Amino acid sequence: MQQHQSDETQSNGESLHRVAGKKGYVSSRGASNLALPMPYLADFFTCLEDTCDAKTNPKGYIPVAVAENRLVTDILQTRLKTLQTAQAGYTDRDAYSYNSPIGLPVLREAVAKILQERFLSPQQQQQQSASTTSTINKDHIGIGAGAISVLSNLFFALGSPKDAVLIPAPYYAAFDNDVRAYAGCVAVPVVCDNPAKGPSPKDLEQARKHAVEKLGLNVRFLLLTHPHNPLGVVYEPAVMKQAIDWARSNKMDTVVDEIYALSVFDDSDSCDFQSILQILDNDLGVDVHMVWGLSKDFGASGFRIGVVYTQNELLIEALGNLFTFAWVSQPVQFMMADLLNDKPFVDDFLAQACQRLKHSYELCTRVLSELEIPFVKAHAAMFVYLDLSELISTVEQEEQFGKVVMKRARMVLTPGTTQHDPKPGGFRICYAYVPADVLEIGMERLRKVVTTIRKQGGLGDWVDDDSHWQDIL
């Protein structure tokens, strides 16, 4: 979209921008937010106009580029349609009135219990965590309109424009926009020797020096996603602790995004997920901040419930003001508190969620294994990261492959370049966005695309010849 700067100037000296073919104008700040936060979203929205249904529309589009767990919607719907939940949301007079923007006490208390039982002292770790005597203080919890809003406000309250945020790559594509749109911070990828293992102090130091010496930035933050997006891996506790110690030695704050913490489906001995609350024994100090929410683990993206847990009490006070612009509907807060306090439901829900995630993950990776396509073995979350560098050696070829899959297989994947993968050919498949029967259709389409490209000896001008693709759908 071409932008044309107007000759008009506001009273503060800021130029206004006009956009060709559109009515109206925006400031330079507005112009910087005209583009979609993730470039593949345009194809994703196209998919939503004609989505695949295994029985009624088997040739429809299959969007597997957005990380949502839609496999559990039926369970959540059944629970939330009860009279009990409706009464919880609309009976209390506080649901109809102004209240604290940082979150209603009833929801902050419910979240505190979840953090205590499932993050700080999970049941399977109680024997090892017997020394943990601290408890989660609800006054250290803030509730905002989704994790994206919480992250944005954290960087706004703690940082300044042009502050650098180091993020181990590849990383969730929207982080670039999350740190920039309001806070004006700059995301800087950390290239890791072993991305699946996590960042080493050497990796972090190289990224810090690059940001300072080459980009001229003030390095202020380290952002860790754990479990990781897009790799789906779980870092060893020592890796997390080492990264935080490094950040502290450089006077940086660490933000730990644990939005997938309750979606760990690997129950083998090789997977040892520990929340940062457990790793630090709930001693976060004032420079480590944990973010969570209901969007992923509870399949409730539309409810916009994001959580920050921090022992920086001055930060909580500042967020109490900032969250007036990210207020969560109070009937929704009452309803979610009722749900989280229903321990038997939560226990059963999370068990079923992990079981369904594991089933779809295995369905997806079985086809990748049959095709001998390398992928990162995931422990958690709702996506698998595959390596198509056998077919793709340049950024241009990665973009071409994405277009081929969209046109021929009617699927949209998340390209690795949008996630700052330094190696072309990486793609993320969000297998929980569609039902298992639709995922099977999508993986068979992907099989045909990859097989066809291999037969032709790689990507080339031939991909525009319809005769090669007659049997894809």
83-107: pLDDT as tens digits: 888 888 888 888 898 889 999 999 9
395-408 vs 436-455: helix crossing angle, rounded to 10: 120
Would you state the pLDDT for residue 210? 97
Q: Are 238 and 198 spatial neighbours (Cβ–Cβ below 8 Å)? A: no
Would you state the pLDDT for residue 138? 96
Q: What is the pLDDT of residues 203-260, one digit of tens each?
A: 999 999 999 999 999 999 999 999 999 999 999 999 999 999 999 999 999 999 999 9
168 preceded by cis ω (within 30°)? no
Query: Any idea which of 15-29, 240-254, 397-411, 439-453 has the lowest mean pLDDT?
Result: 15-29
The domains located in the chain, with CATH, are 41-73+346-469 (3.90.1150.10), 92-341 (3.40.640.10)
Ranges of H-type helices in 67-215: 73-80, 83-90, 105-114, 147-158, 175-180, 201-209
263 or 26, greater pLDDT: 263
Residue appearing with tokens 């939560």: 346
Question: For residue 426, what is the enclosing H or E element?
Answer: strand 426-429
pLDDT at 5 over 60: no
pLDDT at 128 over 70: no
Residue 264: which pLDDT band, with cuts at 50, 70 and 90? very high
Q: What is the pLDDT of residues 30-81, one digit of tens each?
A: 888 877 777 778 888 898 999 999 999 999 999 999 999 999 999 999 999 8
Mean pLDDT in the chain? 91
Q: Are 357 and 432 spatial neighbours (Cβ–Cβ below 8 Å)? A: yes
pLDDT at 125 over 60: no
147-158 vs 313-322: helix crossing angle, rounded to 10: 120
pLDDT at 13 over 60: no
Q: What is the pLDDT of residues 324-369, one digit of tens each?
A: 999 999 999 999 999 999 999 999 999 999 999 999 999 999 999 9
Whether this prediction's pTM lies above 0.85 is answered by: yes
Short-list 20, 65, 128, CA closest to 432: 65
Residue 411: which pLDDT band, with cuts at 50, 70 and 90? very high
Q: Are 143 and 328 spatial neighbours (Cβ–Cβ below 8 Å)? A: yes
- Burial grade of 55 (CB within 10 A; 0-12, 13-18, 19 or more): exposed
Q: Are 84 and 90 spatial neighbours (Cβ–Cβ below 8 Å)? A: no
The half-sphere exposure of 8 on its side-chain side, counting CA atoms within 13 A, is: 11
Angle at 317 between CA 311 and CA 321, to 5 degrees: 140
Residue 126: which pLDDT band, with cuts at 50, 70 and 90? very low
